[in-house]
Structure 1
Amino acid sequence: MKFRGQYRTIILAMLLLATVINYIDRSALSIAMPFVTRDFHLTAGEKGIIFGAFSIGYAVFNFLGGYLADRFGGRRVLTVSMAGWSIACGLTAAVSGFWSMLLVRIAFGMGEGPNASTANKVVNTWFPLGERATAAGISQAGGPIGGALAGPVVGFLALSFGWRAAFLVMALLGITWAIMWRFLATETPAQHPRVNKAELSHIESGQEAVKAPTGQKVSIREVITTRAVLTTGISLFCYNYILFFFITWFPSYLVDAKNISLKDMSLVSSLPWITGAIGFLSGGFLVDAIYRRTGKRMFSRKVVLVTSLLIAAACIALTGVVDSVWTAVGVMTVAIGLLMLAAPAYWAIIQDSVPRHQVGTASGFMHGLANCSGIVGPAITGMLIQTTGNYASAFVLAGAVGLVGSLILAWFVDGTDRVLEPKPASVC
């Protein structure tokens, strides 16, 4: 597949950049938390609650954002989402303690909530079936790239100008993206003057993976209760438990348990994100390559996802019981690389399971259900650390949750439960 010379390359580059900014902003507090803790004298339990507060707004607006993207279009929703979370990011610089930080983090999560499901909607609109896993992988690879950049960028800004300045710089970057996106994107390829007939024909020729039942309106309830959507959401909950555990607590683990300096932490914590970016990019290509070779859509998704998540879960559990800081960072680096390798398959499964006009809604529901883990996971981790006085049990629990996620998807998702044909009427 060749994106070069095609306008959808610009769209994909903008989606990639949006996710980079998303994860720099999202990870910024984790990097800045040692500085924030020093200023506000936060306990481990309070830090866990603050970390989890992000997902209160985030999980709700995952679903709402996906639904709005189906109704009003990805271009509009992404513009508002980026502007909203950037403003909330900037307001972080004005907090004065635990409660104001809690409220700002909820608002920040609300702004970021629509991003992933809306980006998946844009990919579904702008790319044919055979390119979607690759496009989703490239788009979402911005997450680990942003996570890798967050350590050195936020660490440098916090050490040089104070942690509040770091949030102001990130806010300005996001607002700039929103303005650019408004001018560069359209809701559909057919509306864009720079999309030529050949590219438009290529995009439209392979659009539908699932067709809506003829003459029958599929309700939101039917979409979100489809076994593939519901089960994938539960599996992604387990996946995101590990991800939020890593995003929120790994920097503090390096400082508190392994006694490395704040400066070294901001650099070392970037290493797992670098392999994560490689994993995300490779996962999309690998899924599409297996699909082209075998012609089996669901098999190509599951074989990559289940295998990667199983090994990642084992590595996460192991990280908490090793002694050397470099061994811990090395094992965590492998874990995050494999975790991200699995990620594009989740988005591809959703696109395989529902009609295209409901991809945003289904993606948002899956993502919202999954990100409830971000509410409970960081808080549970904080309580475990505060109760036990160490991080080992928190790492083992995260690994166990990942194991459950891989087994659930392997067992219950087989590609047969899709919104394809209307149910036959009963015969009297």
Structure 2
Amino acid sequence: MSSSRSHVRWLTLALIVALIVINYIDRSAVSYAVGPLTKSFGITKSQYGLISSAFSIGYMVFAFLAGPLVDRYGARRILLVGVAIWSLVTAVTPVSGSFIGLFVARIVLGAGEGPGFPAATRTVSRWLPQKERGIALAMVGGVAVAGSLLIGGPLVTQLIAGVGWRGMFWVLAVLGALWLAAACMLLRNTPDDHRGVSAWERAHIAAGQLEEERTSTNRVQWRPVLTNRNLWIIAVGYFAWGFMFWGFMYWLPDYLSSQYGLSVTAVGLFTVAPWAAGVVGAILGGVITDRVFARTGSPRTRLTVMGVALLLSGAALVPITVAPSLTVSVTFISVGVGLGFVTGGIWWVAAIDAVPSQPGVAAGFADAAFALSGIVAPSVMGFIVSSTGSFSSGFVVMSALAVIGAGSMLVLPKPYRRRLDPAPDGKADLAAR
């Protein structure tokens, strides 16, 4: 083990960020190949709608189930298995041959990607002290997600143009295999498992962890999870933000084209702004939550930051319903998405704070709520648009849910039993609250 000041924790974080980028590009790739794929397989639009939901169903179920597996067997093993599954499914997608084959493939893809965030959350909780987790998980849950949406479209469409729609899936499968090879060599469950971690870095990490985070839990304890008020509050808030996220992800292009008569290329240009704002918001959220925690030492501040950001995010959509125009819509949707992404990585930090002994289970619980919104939001928005002929009511629902989620985080949290107090020497001491 090295005696110098190593920084292996940041290499580990880089691996996780790369994983999430590949994760989101893989899951969205099918939408760019929908034309040739549905034609080749003889799939109708209604069948394609079911295929779109299949991913979220598989993802929601296995995000929840993966949490106990991550806490029992470690993040590394579960991630390696998950990436192997989703890379294989990505490779066979273009030859699945029928509606049933593609439906099953999307469920399995969701199952393979489900462990991603629970495993990433446990990895961060074991590799970084509390004061560094805000920016770290902002990179994982915010920058990587919004960034993948920024680069995914151009990357996938260029691949389709260069190697065909089937070749595009195969290239993405190779990317997953390359990550798998790198993770086998570089990724470990804890700093103690990695020979490159110096004594200084191990001490630095340990000084900012709770005792529960320095020990392993082999048996899942469901009662502390299912009866944890703060974890339920996190789930409600994450569902509220997820409704806005998935609603815009699926319906923003159609809204801009149908409401303002934009061409496909113009829509592509205008949809860049919200996700670019999301990258900025995610970084800002990580910096703010780390600085506030460094000053207060209180995990409660994570929920306060998220509550304020979500409340402002919902309020930002009001001008779109009051005085709609292309400029107003793009501007305030971007503001709303940017403010929403301030919470992007803090959900996972808050989940660790709520159940520090079982971060994988806690993260899976929260992620299942987010995945549920991914099933509900597209359907509800579609029903609203088809029944009213307008998107306005959908924006009202987004704002209302944001207020509910924000209110629960600002008003209802139960005081945390333990916290890390900042000390004059920069280290943290455990104290009862």
* Alpha-carbon distance in 2 for matches of 1:336, 1:354: 28
More displaced, 120-129 or 204-213?
204-213
1:131 matched to which residue of 2? 132
What does 1:175-190 correspond to in 2, within 5 Å? 175-190=177-192
Per-residue CA distance 1:179-201 (angstroms, 9 max, x = gap): 11111111111111110111111
Q: Given the two structures, how large is their TM-score scaled by the length of structure 2?
A: 0.85
Counterpart position of 2:409: 409
Question: Residues 334-413 of structure 1: matches in 2 within 5 Å?
Answer: 334-356=335-357, 358-413=358-413
Residue 333 of structure 1 is matched in structure 2 by: 334
Cα deviation 1:299-352 (Å, max 9, x = unaligned): 2x1232111111212334654676544443322221221111012222222211
Indicate yes or no: 2:166 matched with 1:197: no
> For the residues of structure 1 that align with 2:325 and 2:32, how far apart are their CA atoms?
21
Whether contact under 8 Å (2:319, 2:328) holds in the other structure is no
- Give deviations 1:220-261, integer Å, cap 9, x for gaps: 122222111122112211111111112222233334444433
What is the rounded CA distance, in whole Å, between the counterparts of 2:355 and 2:417 in structure 1?
10
SS at match of 1:372: helix
Gaps of 5+ in 1: 420-428
Using the alignment, how far apart are the partners of 2:418 and 2:208 within structure 1? 18
SS at match of 2:345: helix
Correspondence for 1:286: 288
CA contact (8 A) 1:28 1:154 kept: yes
Partners of 1:317 and 1:400 within 8 A in 2? no
Which residue number corresponds to residue 70 of structure 2? 69
> Partners in 2 of 1:185 and 1:224 — Cα distance?
30
- The share of aligned pairs that are identical, in percent, is 33
- 2:115 maps to 114
Aligned counterpart, 2:249: 247
Counterpart residue number, 2:308: 307
Question: Any idea what SS the aligned residue of 1:310 has?
Answer: helix
Q: Which SS does the other structure have where 1:371 is aligned?
A: helix
Q: Which shows bigger deviation, 384-393 or 178-187?
A: 384-393
Give CA deviations for 1:49-102 in whole Å, capped at 9, x if unaligned.
433322111111112222111111111111111222222233332355655443
Stretches of structure 2 lacking an aligned partner (at least 5 in a row): 420-433
Deviations along 1:153-172, one digit per CA (max 9) or x if unpaired, are: 22333455544443332222
Summarize deviations over 1:361-396 as a string: whole Å, max 9, x none.
Answer: 111112113321112221222233333344333333
Q: Describe the SS at the equivalent of 1:207.
A: coil
Shift of 1:418: 8.0
After TM superposition, the score normalised by the length of structure 1 is 0.86
AA of the residue aligned to 2:411: W
Rounded Cα–Cα distance in structure 1 between residues aligned with 2:54 and 2:406: 26
Moved more, 259-268 or 133-142: 259-268
Tell me which residue corresponds to 2:150.
148
Which shifted more, 314-323 or 122-131? 314-323
Distance of 2:382 and 2:32 partners within structure 1? 16
Match of 1:402, as an amino acid?
A: A
CA distance 1:326–1:376, shift in 2 (3 Å): same
Q: How does 1:205-244 map to 2 (within 5 A)?
A: 205-208=207-210, 219-244=221-246
Change (3 A) 1:253 1:154: farther
> Contact 2:234/2:366 (CA < 8 Å) preserved in 1?
yes
Change (3 A) 1:267 1:89: farther
Counterpart in the other structure of 2:427: none
Query: How many residue pairs were aligned?
Result: 410
Find the counterpart in structure 2 of residue 78 from structure 1: 79
Structure 1, 321-330 or 302-311: larger mean CA deviation: 321-330
| Counterpart for residue 21 of structure 2 | 20
Residues 17-76 of structure 1, C-alpha deviation per residue, up to 9 Å, x if partnerless? 111112222333444456667776754x65554333221111111122221111111111
Further displaced range: 389-398 or 328-337 = 389-398
* Contact 1:226–1:418 (CA under 8 A) maintained in structure 2: no
